[in-house]
Amino acid sequence: MNTAVSNTTHDPRLIAWLRDAIRVGSDVAEIMTNMRKQGLSDETILSAFEVVTPTGDALEQGVMSPPLMRRAPPKLRKIDSDKLDLYTLEDALSANDCARMVALIGHHLRPSTLAYPSDDKAFRTSQTSDLCYLKSPVATLIDTKICKTLGIRPEYAEGIQAQRYDVGQQFKAHWDYYEPDTHVYQRFASVRGNRTWTFMVYLNEDMDGGATRFTEIDLAIRPKTGMAVIWNNLNADGTVNPATKHCGEPVTRGCKIIITKWFRELGDGPLFY
C-alpha cells in the first residue's frame, strides 16, 4: 500500500463521507470537486477512491434472479413480454407505510434534475425528495424493507428517492441505466457500475393520469397505493436493455407520489441476504 492510501485510510471521516456519497449515487465529478475544495490533492483523492471502490460483482452473484422472483409470492405478477423482465408487486408497502412516507416527503422537496443534459425544459418537471440524506428512521425503515423484499442487500443499492408529480408534471420517455462509454456513465456509474433493478412504489392512487408507460411494449401501469413496479434494466448478458424505456405520464388531477430505489452492479460482500 502506498503512503497516500495509508494516510487516507487513517482519516475515517473522509472515508466515511466518501463511501456514503458513492453509496447514494452521487456525481463523481461533483465529489472530486468538493474534495479539491477541501484542499486534497488529486493523488489523495484517487487513493481515497481506491479505498471505497466496491469489490463485489452482482452479475457474477446472480443478480438477474433475485430471491423475490425465485420465491414468486402470489402478489407478484410477471408482465408477459420477451423484451424485458418486468413485474408488479401488490402491497409492497402497507397503506400506513405509504401515508407516513407521503407526510415526510412533503417537507423535503426540490425540483427534479436530469443526469443527461436536455434542451427540453418540460422533459422532467416533477419534484424530488432525497430521502437517503434525511437520516429519518421512517425512511430508513422503508429503505430496508425494499431491500429485503427484493432480497438484495443495501450494499448493492443506491439510497431511496421520492418524486411528486402535480397537475401537468411528467417525466418523458427515458432509461434508468447509464449509457456505457459516455461522460454521464463516468460521472454516475464509473465506481459502482450500472443500475440493475429498479424498484418503484406508488404511495397514492387518488389522481387522474400519471401512469407509468413502458413505451417499447406499449404498456401503461396505473398507480395503486402500495404497489411496486420492478424491472431489470439489463439483458441477461449484462448489457443495457433499451426495451426498458419508460415515462411518467402527465398528471391531470391530484398528484402522484412515488418512491424509487435503484440497485447496482458493484457492491461489497454477498449480494443476497
In the chain, where the domains are located: 3-53, 57-267
Express as a percent the part of the chain with pLDDT over 90. Answer: 80
- Across 44-58, 68-82, 243-257, least confident range: 44-58
- Across 2-16, 28-42, 213-227, least confident range: 2-16
- Of 109, 122, 97, nearest to 248 by C-alpha is 122
- Of the CA atoms within 13 Å of residue 159, those in its CB half-sphere come to 19
Instruction: Write down the CATH superfamily of domain 57-267.
Output: q2cbj1_9rhob like domain (2.60.120.620)
The string over 147-163, giving b where at least 16 C-beta atoms fall within 10 Å of a residue's C-beta and e elsewhere, is bebbbbbbbbbbbbbbb
How many whole angstroms separate alpha carbon 184 and alpha carbon 177?
10
- Across 75-84, 108-117, 156-165, 193-202, least confident range: 108-117
How many whole angstroms separate alpha carbon 235 and alpha carbon 233?
7
Q: How much is the pLDDT for 10?
A: 57
117 CB burial (10 A radius; 0-12, 13-18, 19+): exposed
**What value does the mean pLDDT take over residues 260-267?**
97
pLDDT tens column, 220-262: 999 999 999 999 999 999 999 999 999 999 999 999 999 999 9
Q: Mean pLDDT in the chain?
A: 93
Helix, strand or coil, per DSSP, at residue 146: helix
CB-based contacts of 162: which residues, under 8 Å, 6+ apart?
101, 105, 128, 129, 131, 203, 257, 258, 259, 260
How many whole angstroms separate alpha carbon 99 and alpha carbon 204?
8
Helix, strand or coil, per DSSP, at residue 12: helix
Lookup result for grid cell 402478489: 75
Comparison of pLDDT for 221 and 11, the residue scoring more: 221
Helix, strand or coil, per DSSP, at residue 92: coil
How many whole angstroms separate alpha carbon 65 and alpha carbon 68?
8
pLDDT tens column, 142-192: 999 999 999 999 999 999 999 999 999 999 999 999 999 999 999 999 999
**What value does the mean pLDDT take over residues 92-119?**
93
Q: 0.85 cut: is pTM over it?
A: yes
Comparison of pLDDT for 7 and 48, the residue scoring more: 48
Is the distance from CB of 224 to CB of 142 less than 8 angstroms? no
Helix, strand or coil, per DSSP, at residue 60: coil
